[in-house]
Amino acid sequence: MKHLYTTVCNDAYTNALTLLLWTIKRFNPSFAHPFKVYHKGDLSTENQARLRRVYAPFFFENVSDGDYQSKIAHYLALEAFREAEPEQVVFIDCDIICLGDISYLDRLDHPLSLALDFDFKNPFGFNVYGPLSPLARVNTGVFALNRTYRDGATYKALHALLKEFPDEYKKGVAWSDQGIVNQLFRWRTKFILPYYYNARKNLFKNRKFARGPEAALRGVRLLHFGGAYKPFLGGLKGVPPESKHHKYSQLHQVYYSYWDRMVADLQVDWKLP
């Protein structure tokens, strides 16, 4: 197997993953890589069948490892480091939609490739070498691995850190797979992806949309709806208009627009909360 794409999903996030794959296929018609979904027994067979309706090469792995069971699902992203067979493994969070050509991810050949987790847009890919690596806090919404860190030892080191990190979010405390990856790879060289391949929503507040979403999002390939009030889980419903979270309301409309296109294309009656 040359390329394997992976993600984490459960029943609550099924809507998100359907739209991610529909948008990937929309902008990448030849995309046909196997796509593995990690879950903890919380992804029903009905939802697995629904996902395969959107993208046939899905397959699913129920991770029964007890160290994950009390943790939020995000921690399962570490399982990508356990995939020994493929030449290249790519992980994409399912709270992302695709807005362009992502074949660049197939051409990467670095031990670890991911985007920065800072509020600025770096348009270039570059290596951050060991001595400077602690300055490069990274986001694990999208990452790619050649065979280097899928050596068994790296996964064991990542897995060993599970007990040190909280089960749920705690303000001001490093957590989840992202916290673990940042800790283990703190001093190691990392390849930094252009932000286009993990464009987090906090880069696109409403004021950035003065000329419309097409102009604001020009060049973005993968748009990441991380954090609270995800559009596929009810979005900003019930959130007071004066809330700071409404600075992403126009971005949510972009999401809903693609959802409506998908539903019309597939001729289904799927609905968001």
Domain boundaries, the chain: 3-199
- Across the range 174-186, mean pLDDT stands at 94
pTM of the model: 0.97
- Across the range 23-47, mean pLDDT stands at 98
Answer for the pair 13, 94: CB distance below 8 angstroms, yes or no: yes
**138-145 and 113-116 as β-strands: parallel, antiparallel, unpaired?**
antiparallel
Mean pLDDT of all residues belonging to the chain = 96
Q: Tell me which architecture the domain covering 3-199 has in CATH.
A: Alpha-Beta Complex (3.90)
- Across the range 200-204, mean pLDDT stands at 95
**In the prediction, which pLDDT does 172 show?**
76
DSSP 8-class letter at 194? P
Answer for the pair 116, 31: CB distance below 8 angstroms, yes or no: no
DSSP 8-class letter at 166? -
**In the prediction, which pLDDT does 6 show?**
98
* Amino acid symbol at 44: S
